Amino acid sequence: MRTLRPPVSIKEKELLAKIGDKLNNLPSGLAPGQQSDHYEPLVDPFNRVVKDLRISITDRCNFRCTYCMPQEGMQWIDRHEILTFEEITRIARICVERWGFDGIRLTGGEPTVRAQLPRLIAKLKEIVSPVTNKEIEISMTTNGATFRLLAHDLRDAGLNRVNISCDSLHRDRFYEMTRRDQFERVMEGIDAAIEAGFAPIKLNVVVMRNVNDDEMVDFATFGREKGIQPRFIEFMPLDAEEGWSLDKVYSADEIVAAISSVYPIEAITKGSEPATVYRYLDGKGSFGVIPSVTKPFCDSCDRVRLTAEGKFRTCLFAIEEFDLRPLLREGGSDQEIADVIEQAVGKKWAGHSIGNVNFIRPKRSMSQIGG
């Protein structure tokens, strides 16, 4: 049973009035004086503290990547079913203020196809952490194709970090993997992120055996030259056409071996982040590897997800979802929303079991869940 904070007394109100303009900076979800109030970490059944919220803001995308979406025939969610910016911000505020979530990542589909995106960033930046009494960190994953048009506006709105997806440095292969001839525009998006001052900039690379597994050193060199960090991701069973198999997984060990054969490296101590990071011994940057299949990091997972239409998920591979949209649109209180989130986290499993006989593939593809 949650212990609620008692109402603010008259004496407290008089004291708070003396600090004047500090109160004007409080987000609307906090009562006066509560930004330093005690918060209760959200802990799952395996004693993992949940503090990272991934929010898909659209299921639509301007690419059709082979490991994510079919070339044709996607059934898009009706626009009125997609959460509004206000609804997204409300859920984010509850997670931050009640449980001390310290990071929010926006995903898709492709988040930059959502109109007025800087307005959402600005709204999220109004949320104050009860841990630091500062704005929370907002990051975003994008394919970069239209990032040139938005980079400075997003930066000015408060976006802190950006991950840009690019799976090949060869234009023809890039087209085969994305089914879109947008390679140059993605390169322009990377340059725009650098010019706008985002740091660090991470480059997400989904590695598929016999598709792009010969480009590991090329990406390492590209990252060193650009001052950005490649993040190599093992191919996961979330492709819309359900063609995934273990045979198509180019492992983290193989990725590291390929790069270390050219550039001497050493591993950096891994925390709760999904990637194991390696730095170059000559000091020219680093790269990360996300071994979701061969070396799952489930034992340190601290993230949960919200789909574009308001379904709460405790794992990328979850087969159960918890619908928050009815509460948002039918007068549900913050406490009722929090109760559903706590119920969901109370059922968070130990791990996804990819590659084992017990693994059950999610019914949704990556674009429908949120990358």
What are the φ/ψ torsions at residue 181 (nearest 5 degrees)?
-90, 75
Q: Where are the domains of the chain?
A: 39-369
Two tokens, residue 241: 């056409």
| DSSP annotation of 79 | G
pLDDT of 29 over the 50 cut = no
What's the mean pLDDT in 344-365?
70
- Tell me what the mean pLDDT of segment 22-50 comes to: 63
pLDDT in tens, 217-252: 999 999 999 999 999 999 876 655 666 678 899 999
- The arithmetic mean of pLDDT across residues 28-45, rounded, is 63
Residue 86: its pLDDT value, please? 98
Architecture of domain 39-369: Alpha-Beta Barrel (3.20)
Phi, psi of 89 (to 5 degrees): -65, -35
Question: What pLDDT was estimated at residue 353?
Answer: 61
The secondary structure of the chain in percent helix, strand, coil, rounded to multiples of 5, reads: 35, 15, 50
3-16 pLDDT tens trace:
333 343 444 344 33
d(CA 264, CA 56) in angstroms, rounded, equals: 37
Least confident of 67-76, 102-111, 253-262, 343-352: 67-76
* pLDDT reported for residue 22: 34
Report helix, strand or coil for 142.
strand
Q: Could you give the percent of the chain with pLDDT greater than 90?
A: 68
Tokens of 123: 């709204």
H or E element at residue 56: strand 52-56
Is-contact 348 102, C-beta < 8 A?
no
Residue found by looking up tokens 């480009």 in the block: 215
Residue 14: per-residue pLDDT: 43
Q: Token pair for residue 258?
A: 């390929």
Pick the more confident residue, 220 or 368. 220
Judge whether residue 125 has pLDDT over 90: yes
pLDDT tier, 313 (very low <50, low <70, confident <90, very high otherwise)? very high
Between residues 85 and 3, the one the model is more confident about:
85
Please give the backbone phi and psi of residue 217, each rounded to the nearest 5 degrees, phi first: -70, -35
Most trustworthy range by pLDDT among 19-33, 65-79, 200-214: 200-214
Q: Which of 7-21, 25-39, 117-131, 198-212 has the weakest average pLDDT?
A: 7-21
Instruction: Compute the average pLDDT of residues 89-104.
Output: 96
pLDDT band at residue 21, thresholds of 50, 70 and 90? very low
Distance (Å, whole) CA 240 – CA 243: 8
Type of residue found at 81: E
pLDDT of 291 above 60: yes
pLDDT value of residue 367: 57
Q: Residue 146 gets which letter from DSSP?
A: T
Query: Residue 354 — very low, low, confident or very high, per pLDDT cuts 50/70/90?
Result: low
Tell me the pairing of strands 103-107 and 201-207. Answer: unpaired
Averaged pLDDT, 23-31: 39
- Predicted confidence at residue 178, as pLDDT, reads 93
Q: Comparing 73 with 250, which gets the higher pLDDT?
A: 250
Lowest mean pLDDT segment, chosen from 28-37, 75-84, 88-97, 265-274: 28-37
**Would you state the pLDDT for residue 66?**
80
Return the structure tokens found at 319: 């087969």
CB contact burial 48-76 (16+ within 10 A = b; e otherwise): bebbbbbbbbbbbbbbbbbbbbeeeebee
pLDDT at 107: 95
Q: Is the pLDDT of residue 120 over 90?
A: yes
pLDDT of residue 292: 85
**Cβ(53)–Cβ(306) below 8 Å:** yes
Reduce the DSSP state of residue 192 to 3 states and report it. Answer: helix
DSSP state for residue 172 in the 8-state scheme: H
pLDDT value of position 295: 87
Question: Which pLDDT does position 274 carry in this prediction?
Answer: 82
